[in-house]
Structure 1
């Protein structure tokens, strides 16, 4: 009876987490905080490795980013080809991050995972005060070359892991003198689509995606992302960021505990 209950929970956990992950990624980011525990539980039950689980998560959540891009298309249209260098930098960094993931062993990725989650959760916590401080550092100047180079570096992290990457992008924009909120949002959405999409394609071509879980997650994340884009102006960003950070800290603690039990 208990085994049957565990199977039911595992069957329900992943689709529910995928839907809300797509919504979170559109509103504040951090969707992986929800999907990774669910996906590791589901894939672990069928003997899938940690790197394949992460690759599957990346591919599954990408459609949610794409639907967000559609929802924000009017803001993107206003900036046009001026965004091309940033998009290219994001693609290069995302590709490097994806390749690094593919050469990481399952053991080492499991060891890194809680630390990556903890880093991402802390980024959510410090993002608001950090953003206000960074807004004062550029002195009104805009540093285009630094922005492109920095975007490559940030996108390596996004391609490798992803969670919290949106806040790294926002921090980079603040340092480099981009302060218009509409342009910041447009750049954040565009860079997410490219820096996640390129490694996602890399994982697909490398055969490292478990399609038994990926397709279901992708559809639900896309629906969640599109609906959330319509509702995002009404959401209290401060409350949402603290909520996401709390989820991230709990997820990190969960994986720290899993690793401790494995070593014990």
Structure 2
């Protein structure tokens, strides 16, 4: 039985989670680790399926990518030649992932959800040491090719699921030689804007968005994303990485228990 105190706080869960999700997506990725459980909880007992919840979550968080991309404009100047090919790869991958999501049965998506979250959390933990190791062995003339191909693959995952996609993008940039954390964040936000943007269009076109929740989440996530982009350089990156990794593993554990645990 839920305590009266927790019952009183429950209406605040989705607004707070949406604001923090926009901020996390800007600084390190993983905002859906907070917003998706909150949205699933808000729609508990309704006739809305988990695929539509996932689609609504992706649409709601997209404005946060737009506002933070504007705030990162100075960090993008060193990579202007990469922006067009990265955007094309993000577009193709994001559309393919969004198409696959909408043809996935709700029950199958819920069984996949804990594994997707766990995979994203593990990749986030591994991305920094993996990037450092490969940086010493990479061939510079091949890095852009692998970056474009890898971006299409990662964007497919982003279009399908989204949560943890920022981790994979950061790992990809580290592998391909982009090591400045602020430039990585800026490029991550731009590619997410495109891959999630085309997925957003596809979800809206197919009528899979619950607008009542989407609008409030979108506004709060946009505010959180912009503020985080403005002040991210003051954040200790090691502390932030540990915090996001912890959130990822805890969220994955929660969904493993919720999906595969004993049913009352």
How high is the TM-score relative to the length of structure 1?
A: 0.92
User: Secondary structure of the residue that 2:209 maps to in structure 1?
Assistant: coil
Deviation at 1:210, TM superposition (A): 0.5
Q: Rate the CA distance shift 1:131–1:124 in 2: closer, same or farther, 3 A.
A: same
Q: Rate the CA distance shift 1:48–1:9 in 2: closer, same or farther, 3 A.
A: farther
**Which residue does the alignment assign to 1:62?**
62
**Which residue does the alignment assign to 1:168?**
168
**Which residue does the alignment assign to 2:37?**
37
**Which residue does the alignment assign to 1:112?**
112
Conserved? CA contact 2:94–2:196, under 8 Å? yes
Using the alignment, how far apart are the partners of 2:181 and 2:224 within structure 1? Answer: 23
**Which residue does the alignment assign to 2:199?**
199
Using the alignment, how far apart are the partners of 1:218 and 1:155 within structure 2? Answer: 21
**Which residue does the alignment assign to 1:129?**
129
- The number of equivalent residue pairs is 264
**Which residue does the alignment assign to 2:26?**
26
User: Secondary structure of the residue that 2:130 maps to in structure 1?
Assistant: helix
Deviation at 1:219, TM superposition (A): 0.3
User: Secondary structure of the residue that 2:43 maps to in structure 1?
Assistant: helix
Conserved? CA contact 1:10–1:41, under 8 Å? no
Q: Rate the CA distance shift 1:120–1:82 in 2: closer, same or farther, 3 A.
A: closer
Unaligned runs of at least 5 residues, structure 2: none
Task: Name whichever of 169-178 and 220-229 sits farther off.
Answer: 169-178
Unaligned runs of at least 5 residues, structure 1: none
**Which residue does the alignment assign to 2:253?**
253
Q: Over residues 154-194 of structure 1, what are the superposed CA-to-partner deviations in whole Å (9 max), with x where a residue is unaligned?
A: 11001111122222222222333444556533322211110
State the Cα RMSD in Å.
Answer: 2.1
**Which residue does the alignment assign to 1:226?**
226
Conserved? CA contact 2:97–2:160, under 8 Å? yes
Using the alignment, how far apart are the partners of 1:100 and 1:161 within structure 2? Answer: 10
**Which residue does the alignment assign to 2:102?**
102
Deviation at 1:213, TM superposition (A): 0.6
Deviation at 1:7, TM superposition (A): 5.4
**Which residue does the alignment assign to 2:244?**
244
Using the alignment, how far apart are the partners of 1:126 and 1:145 within structure 2? Answer: 22
Q: Rate the CA distance shift 1:143–1:94 in 2: closer, same or farther, 3 A.
A: same
Deviation at 1:227, TM superposition (A): 0.6
Task: Name whichever of 175-184 and 39-48 sits farther off.
Answer: 175-184
Deviation at 1:78, TM superposition (A): 4.8
Q: Over residues 118-173 of structure 1, what are the superposed CA-to-partner deviations in whole Å (9 max), with x where a residue is unaligned?
A: 11111221122112112112144443332222211111001111122222222222
Matched, 1:186 2:155: no
Conserved? CA contact 1:114–1:256, under 8 Å? yes
User: Secondary structure of the residue that 1:44 maps to in structure 2?
Assistant: coil
User: Secondary structure of the residue that 2:14 maps to in structure 1?
Assistant: helix
Using the alignment, how far apart are the partners of 1:5 and 1:184 within structure 2? Answer: 41
Conserved? CA contact 1:124–1:242, under 8 Å? no
Deviation at 1:4, TM superposition (A): 7.1
